[in-house]
Structure 1
């Protein structure tokens, strides 16, 4: 696709999105919600309150607490490169098929030395 045709396509998408936004802004439900939000912001400014304080006041049990043991952190991505074949393997764990085969063939220490990047 040429740059010019891509430009015209994006221009058409912009027009479509603007039309959808205009229709949304004209809907009574949107008007009502926007009015509520505007009044709520005015009230928050008047009493010098933040959104977090409002949430804590309205729903004290729903305060966000850091989950300590419920979620595991994501493992680091390790990138190995076989110097003989040039093949690259990206993995987050040691249970990757190709990596296992390499470790059987060349030994664990040798394959571990092929680590080129850890993200």
Structure 2
């Protein structure tokens, strides 16, 4: 399609949309809806409520749906692991492998040996 034909097609579409816009501006139902929306928003601002708050107040089923939503997927708590050093008798309780003393033991005795100390 040439640029001129494309320009004329867009110009026709624009003219049709402008005509539709003018007819909507003269529509009484649209004027009433705009007036209602303006009054509603000013009233909500006056009382400090949002549209979501009003929906929750007026529609109990919407409130029930919000309450039914599950909590964030929480993983189960980690299990405490107890390591006892047979050489020193020292005991370390940890939920993860990032314990300072445990790291030192693994560096000194080897990871496999330290894991065997798990009680």
Larger radius of gyration: 2
- The structure whose RCO (Cα within 8 Å, separation 6+) is larger is 1
Q: TM-score, normalised by structure 1?
A: 0.49
Larger % of helix: which?
A: 2
